[in-house]
Structure 1
Amino acid sequence: MSTTLAQVVVLSAPWTEPVRVAAGLDDDDGVLILLSDGGPGGRWSHIGAEPDRRWMGAVEDAASFAALRNEAFGPGTVGLAAYDAGARAATGPRERVWPDLMLARYPTLLTFDHHDRQVRAVGRGETPQAAQAAARRALAWLHQATPLHTPPAPAETFQAEAPPQAYLDAVTDVVARIGAGELFQANVARAWSGVLTPEGRPLDVFLRLQTRRAAPFGAYWRLGDRALVSNSPELFLAFDARTRRVATRPIKGTRARAADPDDDAALAADLVASAKDRAENLMIVDLMRNDLSRVCTPGSVRVEQLFGVESHPTVHHLVSTVTGAAGVGVGAADLLEATFPPGSITGAPKHQAMKVIAAHEPPRGPWCGALFLIEADGGLTASVLIRTAGFERVGDRWRFRTLAGAGVVADSDPEAELLETEAKISAMREALVGQQPVQGMTSTVRGRR
């Protein structure tokens, strides 16, 4: 087979909700599901299977996406960059708990445009006949669509890897380091892990999230004995290869939602008015402006929106938008190398923040890395892998690990940051084990809940 698939066939089909197509798929090796909630920040969904090329392993150095420059991985390529691959420049060698970079090329894709309510089956091949056959295979997946029924909670266990006090101590230490002038902000996380029941599947976790908590960048991806489930609301990078526009939308600032509408509105207003959260957001906006300036035309980087509020099923977020015009010759690999890992989940200055994070956390793996799609014209869409769990099959069981973090700044209150991690992990916890009381919280935090 040649390294490129030059022939492309696109077939149109009536609108079908992509989540129904996802629910009807067999959970085979190579299945890819990228589902948006159809809101303003999530126009496109994609479903794929049967990748014809794969690459998995360590990157050449801490910020190299050289494999993406291989002509074998062009349009239709999906990739996952683990957080630790980008952090290693600051942390030095650490245990690899997940491949640095995973790539797979999909000659067969379904693409759903939620805004125009259109479905396209995209087939690529060496010949027109091969491309036509690939597109028709994609169309066949639409006939398997089925109503989405919530699977039972698939996790047998869900345990914090450290007691809440360890996180309180970590936040206290980071606040002290900030006071000493070592850094301005660090995103410090907690981890939970466990095992699924013998019949439990990572896909069940994804489908449970889709029933009530769909996000702009929901994702399920299985390659071999590894699987990823993400319910991320955060865009890392969007690159339009035709207009050269690059955008990033860092999230910093969170409030848990309330059932009462008046209380919920008050929480959103409190988030917008919070000097602490605005300062936290602004620091990351400045960091992302600096990162984008490395690969954008001088003078083109600007802040299009500052301190916008986005509301999701369990939380309100403070979100800003930074844009720029990519320089001549700049492509997806260059953009990722200049900006990875995302500033919103490291801190400022980025290099020092990653060192501080490593002092308090074991390697993160896929969490807070990036999942990305190389588009037909060389464009790029990449999400930040928050609200994400990584799965590995050991024997006949799937084991998982998931994390939630909070941005720590000079005036952070440790118990408030602990509470924020509980709000952020709540949707993933419910998807894994169902509604259960939170164990191990301090009495003060319980009272504030």
Structure 2
Amino acid sequence: MIVSKSFSISPVQLFEQLAQQDWCCFLQSAADSHENNQFDILVADPIATISYSDGTSKVRVGEQHYQSEQAPFELLESLRKQLFPEEQASTPVFPFEGGALGLWSYDLGRSLEVLPERLAKDLSTPDMAVGFYDWALIFDHHTKSTTLIQWHEIGDEETALERLKQRELWLSIQTSQELPKFELTSAWQSNMNQAAYHDKFEQVQEYLLSGDCYQINLAQRFSASYQGTEAEAYQRLIAANQAPFSAFMRLPSSCILSVSPERFISLKNGEIETKPIKGTRPRSTNKQHDQQLADELLSAEKDQAENLMIVDLLRNDIGRVASPGSVEVPKLFAIESFPAVHHLVSTIRATLAPNYSAEQLLAACFPGGSITGAPKIRAMQIIEELEESRRSAYCGAIGYISSSGDMDTNITIRTLVCENQKIYSWAGGGVVTDSKVDAEYQETFDKLSRILPVLE
């Protein structure tokens, strides 16, 4: 259950004040351009946290600290249900009413599958970093209203109201501060030049032709040094991209900036939805040419074949935890347009079987097939062999699992990691047998055309 109160300050204003706090997280949606993106969610000051890396979770609950060897998704579920008992939760009014919110990095897949260990872990961002929040500030794009909510158990309303008043006082006395300007102090540098990309592309083709996989995602990583405030960089990225699944997350040793166009998994009232992206064309400033590019993508047999492979993969992943016969594909090969690119997007829906949880659904589908290839595990093994660095937060997920058991997550593409005054950004694409190397290489730059230059 929750208690709530309308609040005058906007989440963006408050974000500027809280952005330097560890475990401050801000989920934003470009509501004007995409359906079902109604709310922004701002949280800070969690009552508990989990940071998982290399087989061990560091857990804090209140003032208590301990380590756990429990499987990360199982630990996440047990702690969420301990802190926010679902049987005491009422019908949700808001998408997030207290619960778990955080990051699931691509490399968390190592906790689910046996993968090679060729690449060194050169970034300290955890494989899973989740905070448990008993309050949130929710902005509704439809009503233009802001609500401060406080979760509480039945019978504890008086305490919850008092804490809500304390939160409101705390928020109102925050001192507004101008964020130091973010700027790069070096040029962007890729870990894979064009010749290296060509060589790895040919190795991918050999695996495809030998029957190891039908599709393999190949990515390169860019990095640069910087100074200034990451939150200011995030706001510049938001303005340039207007992405439907954006996120800012400050962790003790890093900061994550995501302007993702792709939903991973949502769960609402037991109904599952995922919207895989596979197929890309650049945007043009010429309206007629821009429409031609979109039409070309819509009718491209190669891109449709790539998309269909991932749709089949995700149908299979979801089918492991869905009610029998409930998996359907209401939209196949739809065009969604963003400031930098057009994408080919499909929609898959299903009903979660009664004996499964949001965490089990997330684990069954993790990491997303749209950013690995198919079959997933073999593609991940080849990715580890061919890429030059671990993916860290890239191609994982950011989102929430509310106290009600509802969930929404993105795929962390168009996502940057900031550590030790260096910023990292990745871009990749699915390669199939009839892919052209120069076109695939250029696509990685098209995807970052509203990211790398924006921060220069």
TM-score, normalised on structure 1?
0.86
Q: CA deviation at 1:299?
A: 0.5
Distance across 1 between alignment mates of 2:27 and 2:395: 17
Q: Is the Cα contact below 8 Å between 2:326 and 2:350 reproduced in 1?
A: yes
Q: Is the Cα contact below 8 Å between 1:108 and 1:124 reproduced in 2?
A: yes
The structure-2 alpha-carbon separation of the partners of 1:355 and 1:112, relative to structure 1 and needing over 3 Å to count, comes to same
Q: CA deviation at 1:153?
A: 4.5
User: Are 2:262 and 1:234 equivalent residues in the alignment?
Assistant: yes
Q: CA deviation at 1:30?
A: 2.0
Q: 1:86 aligns with which of 109, 124, 128?
A: 109
The aligned counterpart of 1:443 is: none
Distance across 1 between alignment mates of 2:290 and 2:148: 41
* More deviation, 304-313/102-111: 102-111
Q: CA deviation at 1:106?
A: 1.5
Q: Is the Cα contact below 8 Å between 1:21 and 1:146 reproduced in 2?
A: no
- Residue by residue, what CA displacement relative to the aligned partner does 1:26-60 show, whole Å, maximum 9, x if unpaired? 52222111111113142221011111211102357
User: Are 2:78 and 1:70 equivalent residues in the alignment?
Assistant: yes
User: Are 2:165 and 1:172 equivalent residues in the alignment?
Assistant: no
Distance across 2 between alignment mates of 1:145 and 1:20: 10
Distance across 1 between alignment mates of 2:171 and 2:294: 39
Distance across 1 between alignment mates of 2:247 and 2:383: 26
User: Are 2:394 and 1:351 equivalent residues in the alignment?
Assistant: no
- What is the root-mean-square deviation of aligned Cα atoms in Å? 2.6
Distance across 1 between alignment mates of 2:175 and 2:262: 28
The aligned counterpart of 2:240 is: 212
For 1:256, give the aligned amino acid: P
For 1:68, give the aligned amino acid: L
- Residue by residue, what CA displacement relative to the aligned partner does 1:387-428 show, whole Å, maximum 9, x if unpaired? 0011223xxxx2222100011011000110111000112222
Q: Is the Cα contact below 8 Å between 1:87 and 1:354 reproduced in 2?
A: no
The aligned counterpart of 1:12 is: 6
* More deviation, 160-169/226-235: 160-169
Q: Which ranges in structure 2 are unaligned for 5 or more consecutive residues?
A: 57-68, 85-97
Q: CA deviation at 1:313?
A: 0.8
1:344 partner SS: helix
For 1:196, give the aligned amino acid: Y
2:450 partner SS: helix
Q: Is the Cα contact below 8 Å between 1:309 and 1:317 reproduced in 2?
A: yes
Distance across 1 between alignment mates of 2:222 and 2:70: 26
Distance across 2 between alignment mates of 1:76 and 1:63: 19
For 1:131, give the aligned amino acid: A
The aligned counterpart of 1:45 is: 40
- Residue by residue, what CA displacement relative to the aligned partner does 1:270-289 show, whole Å, maximum 9, x if unpaired? 11011111111010000000
Distance across 1 between alignment mates of 2:445 and 2:212: 27
1:170 partner SS: helix
Q: 2:338 aligns with which of 278, 296, 312?
A: 312
2:76 partner SS: helix
- Residue by residue, what CA displacement relative to the aligned partner does 1:96-128 show, whole Å, maximum 9, x if unpaired? 443221111122211122234332211135743
The aligned counterpart of 1:412 is: 435
* More deviation, 297-306/94-103: 94-103
The aligned counterpart of 1:118 is: 145
User: Are 2:401 and 1:401 equivalent residues in the alignment?
Assistant: no
Q: Which ranges in structure 1 are unaligned for 5 or more consecutive residues?
A: 1-6, 434-449
> What is the 5 A alignment of 1:13-412?
13=7, 18-38=11-31, 39-58=34-53, 59=55, 64-71=72-79, 72=82, 74=84, 75-87=98-110, 89-93=113-117, 95-96=120-121, 97=123, 98-125=125-152, 127-136=156-165, 139=168, 152-157=181-186, 158-197=188-227, 200-240=228-268, 242=269, 244-361=270-387, 362-393=389-420, 398-412=421-435
Q: Is the Cα contact below 8 Å between 2:109 and 2:367 reproduced in 1?
A: yes
Report how many residues are paired: 418
Distance across 2 between alignment mates of 1:155 and 1:129: 49
